[in-house]
Amino acid sequence: MAQKKKVQSKTKSKLHPQNPHRKRYNFKKLIESCKELAPFVIKNDFGQESINFFEPEAVKMLNTALLKYFYGIDFWEIPPHYLCPPIPGRADYIHHIADLLSASNNGRIPTGEQVNCIDIGVGANCVYPIIGNKTYGWKFIGSDIDPKSAKVANKIIDSNPSLKDKIEIRFQKRKKNIFRGIIKKGEQFDLTICNPPFHASAEEAARGTKRKLLNISEKKPSKTVLNFGGTNNELWTKGGEKLFIKNMIQESKEFAKSVKWFSSLVSKKSNLNAIYDALREAKVKEVKTIPMGQGQKISRIVAWTFTQQTNSYPISNSKRKRKSKSLIDE
């Protein structure tokens, strides 16, 4: 009996409808944009072009090509072992959070430099600000506690003239602080985003990496390879994401009048109740939970505000949003 041929979906249906990475990668166009990607392209088990996601250099070169083709980034270089995040997932956060802003803007996504954002833990890769600026024209402050990350992110900005005066990197001198020392007196922001360190220890981070590798291949990895990279600061923190986000909520109270919406990615569903408890204790005005699906992983964004959100953006600087089921009130 003939073996049934494997068929791979042409779209990543769980991604946001506006995410340009929903379809399978067009490696012909990516290679035309970034020739350095060509040596890393292989045929997968479905007979389609792909890369070896176990190979860190291949993942890094794919990101380089995606950023160049979709976002016009000519230079993107990060040091070895630093986080090399999957671009589709990062873009999903930006598109979902854009929906959040549109909800208080007559269903239109506010665009342009009038929208000011902060990325807490921007990392050396600077990916969230790049996607947010190139997609919607938003201005960003990126903060980080690692001086090398801040230096590398600044080099990416300086090497791409289109990012000049659109993204600013601020070094967080005090590791225990999140917004303190970053938000200056008199500054106003529409939004803060954060992809916190998920794990509570290096051992937990290693187990998480093994699970990730199993999700992208049926083969069991012989050793833990950080194909997407990640330094200690980027992967784990004492108390894990639960304590980190709880501390963020507590500190956000000090900046209730400076920021319209605070938000954070929450990787573990089991952490939600503790986060909701912290939000109730902080007496926030409104909470939104935004589900996100990426491959076999289900995640979500939790956003909160201390103020009543009203229409506050001129229509000329807004983009009408296509209808999509993305917001869930808690």
pLDDT-derived band at 231 (thresholds 50, 70, 90) equals very low
In a domain, 24, yes or no: no
In a domain, 105, yes or no: yes
In a domain, 109, yes or no: yes
Residues of the domain holding 252: 75-329
pLDDT-derived band at 308 (thresholds 50, 70, 90) equals confident
In a domain, 318, yes or no: yes
In a domain, 58, yes or no: no
Angle at 18 between CA 194 and CA 116, to 5 degrees: 40
In a domain, 10, yes or no: no
Q: What CATH code is carried by the domain that includes residue 84?
A: 3.40.50.150
The tally of domains found in the chain comes to: 1
227 close to 208: Cβ distance less than 8 angstroms: no
Percent of the chain having pLDDT more than 90?
70
In a domain, 221, yes or no: yes
Query: Three-class SS of residue 28?
Result: helix
Q: Taking residues 113-142, what's their average pLDDT?
A: 98
pLDDT-derived band at 197 (thresholds 50, 70, 90) equals confident
